[in-house]
């Protein structure tokens, strides 16, 4: 009997900032895979890295931002990749950045936007992304995040 492999080689990061009373989500428009689609930050785990370290590195590489706090979102993004006939699971992290921090995109993206959760849910292409965004809003905005999910606290 054949099996479909499950792969976990990358992470996803939902980056948030507080502007007044509103929490905004950062979305990036892709240049390479999924060209033109709005997505959260994602990237592959390098040798010797823990997944949370990958999350911090990818946020810095793709946006120039440094997370003041990084949490496990306590959820995985999952999707089927037809070309590999595999299911991919990516742990999701929530990165908090300063409201005034400037986004500097790398070559992987053509544009960025800070937006509300309701707009972000309408902008992303996949149901799995919408599910992740709704989960993050419920667990990190509508309520205080569980302290045990805090993985990293950086400089303010």
Query: Is 82 a member of any domain?
Result: yes
CATH classification at residue 45: 3.90.79.10
C-alpha–C-alpha distance, residues 63 and 128, integer Å? 23
Query: Is 22 a member of any domain?
Result: yes
pLDDT digits (tens, 9 = 90+) for 40-87: 999 999 999 999 999 999 999 999 999 999 999 999 999 898 988 999
**Number of domains composing the chain:** 1
Query: Is 138 a member of any domain?
Result: yes
Least confident of 25-39, 51-65, 118-132: 25-39
Query: Residue 76 burial by CB count (10 A; 0-12/13-18/19+): exposed, middle or buried?
Result: middle
Query: Is 1 a member of any domain?
Result: no
Query: Is 23 a member of any domain?
Result: yes
- E-state strands within 38-126: 38-39, 41-44, 69-81, 86-96, 109-115
Question: By residue range, what is the domain housing residue 18?
Answer: 6-153
């Amino acid at each position: 009997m054949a099996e479909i492999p499950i792969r976990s080689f990358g992470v996803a990061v939902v980056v948030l900032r507080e502007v007044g009373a509103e929490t905004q989500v950062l979305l990036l428009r892709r240049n390479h895979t999924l060209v033109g689609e709005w997505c959260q930050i994602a990237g592959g785990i390098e040798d010797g890295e823990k997944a949370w370290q990958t999350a911090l590195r990818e946020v810095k590489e793709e946006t120039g931002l440094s997370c003041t706090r990084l949490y496990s979102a306590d959820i995985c993004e999952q999707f089927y990749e037809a070309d590999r006939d595999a299911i991919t699971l990516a742990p999701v992290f929530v990165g908090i950045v300063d409201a005034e921090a400037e986004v500097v995109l790398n070559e992987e993206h053509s544009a960025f936007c800070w937006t509300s959760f309701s707009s972000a849910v309408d902008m992303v292409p996949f149901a799995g992304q919408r599910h992740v965004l709704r989960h993050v809003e419920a667990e990190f905005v509508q309520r205080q995040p569980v302290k045990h999910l805090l993985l990293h606290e950086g400089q303010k």
